[in-house]
Amino acid sequence: MNKTTDKMTNYRWVICSLLFFATTINYLDRQVLSLTWKDFIAPEFYWTNDDYGNITSLFSIFYAISMLFAGKFVDWMDTKKGFLWAIGVWSLGAIIHAFCGIATSGIVAGEWLVGFEGAREALAAVQNVGRVASVSVVLFIFARLILAIGEAGNFPAAIKATAEYFPKKDRAFSTSIFNAGATIGALAAPVTIPVLAKHFGWEMAFIVIGALGFVWMGFWVFMYDKPEKHPRVNAAELAYIQSDKEDVQTDTESAKEEKKISFAQAFRFKQTWAFAVGKFMTDGVWWFFLFWAPAYLSSVYGIKSSDTAGQLAIFVLYLITLLSIIGGWLPTYFVEKKGMNPYAGRMKAMLIFAFFPLLALLAQPFGHISYWIPVVIIGIAGAAHQAWSANIFSTIGDMFPKKAIATITGIGGMAGGVGSYLINKGSGKLFDFTQLNWSTVSGQPLLEKFPELQTTETTEALLRSQNVSSVEELLKTLAASGETVVDGISSGYMIIFSICAVSYLIGWIIMKILVPKYKPITL
């Protein structure tokens, strides 16, 4: 295409669409485990809430550490190669999950040369269920490690690509569009993953979804290049992309010689700490909803992810989060209509979004009326998070030059991963604790009725005698037999919902204290 064409091309939106699909695949791969563990995987491997909490929390810490280096890796490899490496690794990690059952069968039962069904049969015959659980958890943790290393590269690469293809005034909107891929992935997940797991086995869900990343890589190889080099970006569009005066590089040779920002240098700036605190306080909320919402519906309301009601509930929950598109429009309104600078407009928008998660305080108290109330509330909180997320990512481009964006994104991602580790690890332990210590059967504390539950060995014997695989199933069996059962896990969810509700306001206040006004960084 002729670069001198007067009419501006719009190829930047093609790049935005590629980022959107990459983020969709990213979140689909994360969702496979959360939608299959409770109803398909846990009965096979005898997992508890704490086991699942360990897997998800360690995924978060792996992701956090990887994010610290992912940004540097993307800056070093540059956007195109960096993104290819990231999605290739995480797609491989997603597929590895499918073979954890066969590996567990080989280690525990000595049956290696079996298929997926053969592994299930071999594990069902094992008496030492504790060893089955512990070995399978370790194997899934390894698979999550590979997944985390690759997935950590998605947002640094996507944010860097956005900074390359969009001027500052459009970055929040374009970020909210590609970030909506998380919502689309979450929408597609409940109507595809449980169906695959139910009809073809949970293993095929990991394989099919994991393979999508390799398809995306083919499109990225042929469709992406720097805007100043791309034949489908004409002079008018390039001028628009580079319309921010401070971002225009008049000396291409000096641009090539620019040094990347170091970690030590990055941590000297309050802007880095503000972004990191904002991510630490809020990322865990989104990941909690992402990882635990299907289990919440199953544990508290008895709605399985493989049921039509469960699939519809999760679908509606994430459909509501599409409201997050407002997150990109609102700061643009403040900048263009109210005359604010981009940072001030974003912070004002983020303050508005920070109030919506307070609704989570009402999810559990009103859940007895209908499970749709917490579904809608969690959906609204999720929309607020995604709107917040689109803007907090864009604050990096407001304050830092392009050469530092991926590195600062990685630092913030690490902080967000640490926050996610804490909430997921804490949730698993809290849910098991409240279920054991706060549950009652016909008015009698569960541990008084079944003192065997106080030790691991006697718990395994009790569960086998009752022909169930978990304490949760035991409570449901007792309820089905006519006992009046109060499951203490509901109180555990109320505690976590309360933490999620206030996290955004706390995060916003700290960010505002650290960076009260717009102050760009010059390196």
In sequence order, the 6+-apart residues with CB closer than 8 A to the CB of 257 are: none
Q: Does residue 267 sit in helix, strand or coil?
A: coil
In terms of C-beta density within 10 A (0-12 exposed, 13-18 middle, 19 or more buried), how is residue 90 classed? buried
CA torsion 9-12-17-19 (nearest 10°) is 160
Residues 381 and 360: their CA atoms lie apart, in Å, by 7
Up-side HSE of residue 120: CA atoms within 13 Å toward CB? 11
pLDDT of residue 6: 67
Higher pLDDT, 339 or 22: 22
Up-side HSE of residue 297: CA atoms within 13 Å toward CB? 31
Residues 468 and 333: their CA atoms lie apart, in Å, by 56
In terms of C-beta density within 10 A (0-12 exposed, 13-18 middle, 19 or more buried), how is residue 42 classed? buried
Whose tokens are 């997940």? That residue is 189
* Alpha helices, DSSP H, located in 267-325: 270-301, 308-320
User: Could you state, in order of their start, the residue ranges of all structural domains in the chain?
Assistant: 11-242+270-438+488-514, 439-487
Residue 90: C-alpha distances to residues 144, 255, 519 (Å): 9, 32, 36
**458 in Cβ contact with 452 (< 8 Å):** yes
Strand order in the sheet with 485-486: 444-445, 440-441, 485-486
Q: Does residue 335 carry a pLDDT above 90?
A: no
Q: Does residue 342 carry a pLDDT above 90?
A: no
Token pair, residue 391, equals: 């803007």
Residues 119 and 106: their CA atoms lie apart, in Å, by 8
Residues 245 and 121: their CA atoms lie apart, in Å, by 66
Residues 440 and 444: their CA atoms lie apart, in Å, by 5
What is the pLDDT averaged over residues 479-504? Answer: 94
Record the pTM. Answer: 0.76
Residues 69 and 63: their CA atoms lie apart, in Å, by 10
For 241, list phi and psi in degrees, rounded to 5. Answer: -60, -40
DSSP 210-222: HHHHHHHHHHHHH
Residues 509 and 458: their CA atoms lie apart, in Å, by 49
% of the chain residues with pLDDT over 90: 46
**217 in Cβ contact with 22 (< 8 Å):** no
First-last CA distance in the chain = 36
What is the band of 255 on the pLDDT scale with cuts at 50, 70, 90?
A: very low
pLDDT of residue 102: 95
pLDDT of residue 178: 87
Number of Cβ within 10 Å of residue 69's Cβ equals: 18
pLDDT of residue 466: 85
CA torsion 204-209-210-212 (nearest 10°) is 130
Whose tokens are 């539950």? That residue is 453
In sequence order, the 6+-apart residues with CB closer than 8 A to the CB of 337 are: none
Q: At what angle do helices 270-301 and 308-320 cross, to 10 degrees?
A: 160
What is the pLDDT averaged over residues 359-382? Answer: 93
β-strands 444-445, 440-441 pairing: antiparallel
Q: Across the chain, which distance is largest between two alpha carbons, in Å?
A: 81
Number of Cβ within 10 Å of residue 310's Cβ equals: 23
**284 in Cβ contact with 416 (< 8 Å):** yes
Whose tokens are 């909690």? That residue is 288
In sequence order, the 6+-apart residues with CB closer than 8 A to the CB of 204 are: 98, 196, 197
**90 in Cβ contact with 147 (< 8 Å):** yes
Q: Does residue 487 carry a pLDDT above 80?
A: yes
Encode pLDDT of 120-137 as tens digits: 999 988 888 889 999 999
Q: Does residue 215 carry a pLDDT above 90?
A: yes
Number of Cβ within 10 Å of residue 448's Cβ equals: 9
Topology (CATH) of 11-242+270-438+488-514:
Growth Hormone; Chain: A; (1.20.1250)
Q: Does residue 162 carry a pLDDT above 60?
A: yes
Q: Does residue 272 carry a pLDDT above 70?
A: yes
Token pair, residue 399, equals: 């304050």
Nearest to 52 by CA among 67, 41, 44, 66: 41
**475 in Cβ contact with 485 (< 8 Å):** yes
Residues 411 and 65: their CA atoms lie apart, in Å, by 9
Residues 269 and 244: their CA atoms lie apart, in Å, by 22
pLDDT of residue 245: 54
pLDDT of residue 321: 82
Lowest-confidence region among 195-204, 261-270, 375-384, 439-448 = 261-270
Query: What is the three-state SS of 365-395?
Result: CCCCCCCHHHHHHHHHHHHHHHHHHHHHHHH
Q: Does residue 448 carry a pLDDT above 50?
A: yes
